[in-house]
Amino acid sequence: PDQPHAMHARSVILLGFLAGASAFLSGPAPVAFGRTGRMALSQKLHMSTVPKVPYDGAAVTGPSGPTVPGDGDLDFLEAKPYWDQSGVTVNVAKQKNPHIGKIVSVQRMVGPNAPGETCNIIIDHDGKLPYWEGQSYGVIPPGIDPKRNKPYGVRLYSIASTRYGDDKTGKTTTLCVRRATYWCPELKADDPAKKGVCSNYLCDSKPGDEVKLTGPSGKVMLMPEDDVTQTYIMVATGTGIAPFRSFLRRLFGEANPAQKNFQGLAWLFLGVANKDALLYDEEFQVYLRQNPDKMRLDYALSREGPLNKKGGKMYIQDKVEEYADEVFDALDKGAHIYFCGLKGMMPGIQDMLKDVCKAKGLDFEEYLEGIKKKGQWHVEVY
């Protein structure tokens, strides 16, 4: 009963842009979209395996380590049919009446040479805050905001686990949090007075600590699972990997209906500073080995990778421009394009798209308005 109807092959391009600028390593040759393109990609991957980036970071273990579907079904949190999003809930818990969750574990997940610290944080919500892949939780840090002399407000974090949680109980969630610090040029050290309140609160938390949660929030980043031939292209920098990690775990790491029916392609680009800063690499490598015809993985290391065509560091817009023909072709065929992260990333992206439109003889504003009207343009920046 949950087998979705066959729809025309279409593509979904998801771009997650978060803290820091990153460069992308040169990937395999461009591929076409759709069933024929997917077949060519499958053959290409079998012929030459995507090179593995040596990983010197800190592997995430326990329930957050690599997981495989296994036997049996994992479907107790599915809609009927499973792709029906009409029942997706938002704001079950609000700031005035937050849900009290408990920290299960906090684990550093980057190596010693990574810039900054990023933690994998599991929180027990006791099944009281159900969510879908692509949604976010709000966290309310304790204390008074000295600027407003009022309690701190909600900080939003994209969820990095599937609705079942990394332990598959349906009672936990996982956040991928980078500790926000401020380097003071006068002190020549981090200034503790200007550190990120909520990120440091979460990264410093201990198992058993209570945490105030709100949400879930957002419907912009939900996966359109009604077409099992869907192609997902996910581009993330840093902790922008969070929602896409939940996508890949749902598609390849659990015995849920989406995993059982998926016949499409999940293509992930992840940009970080160096190999020590890679996030969830050990997990993604497992999925890639087990699903060579359904997954593609390209890493970008801005401080260790090649330069862009102008001789500078390869930023996100530069890499997207390399695949501009495929991106525009996919949009012409009904693809959805998603942007998530710092709003400061968007000007470079839009400037690049304007240049591509000009080269193609298209009016950018008119083109953008067209795909917006068709519901193909999704932006969630802050």
Known catalytic residues are 157-158, 340, 380, 382
Distance CA 3, CA 82 (A): 9
SS3 state at 274: coil
Distance CA 177, CA 52 (A): 25
Q: Which helix (H) or strand (E) holds 12?
A: strand 11-17
Closest Cα partner for 74 from 137, 162, 175?
162
- End-to-end, the C-alpha distance of the chain in Å comes to 40
The edge-to-edge listing of strands for the beta sheet with 231-237 is 295-301, 265-272, 231-237, 11-17, 336-341, 377-381
Q: Count CB atoms within 10 A of the CB of residue 63.
A: 17
114's tokens = 């990574």
- Using CB atoms within 10 A of its CB, is residue 28 exposed (0-12), middle (13-18) or buried (19+)? middle
Q: Strands 231-237 and 11-17, how do they pair?
A: parallel
Q: Strands 210-217 and 172-178, how do they pair?
A: unpaired
Query: Please, where are the H alpha helices in 17-79?
Result: 34-47
DSSP state of 253: S
278's tokens = 């890679």
Distance CA 15, CA 270 (A): 10
Which is it for the CA torsion 78, 220, 5, 9, positive or negative? negative
Nearest 10 degrees: Cα torsion 368, 372, 378, 381: 60
127's tokens = 């099944």
311's tokens = 């001789």
Distance CA 273, CA 302 (A): 5
- Using CB atoms within 10 A of its CB, is residue 282 exposed (0-12), middle (13-18) or buried (19+)? middle
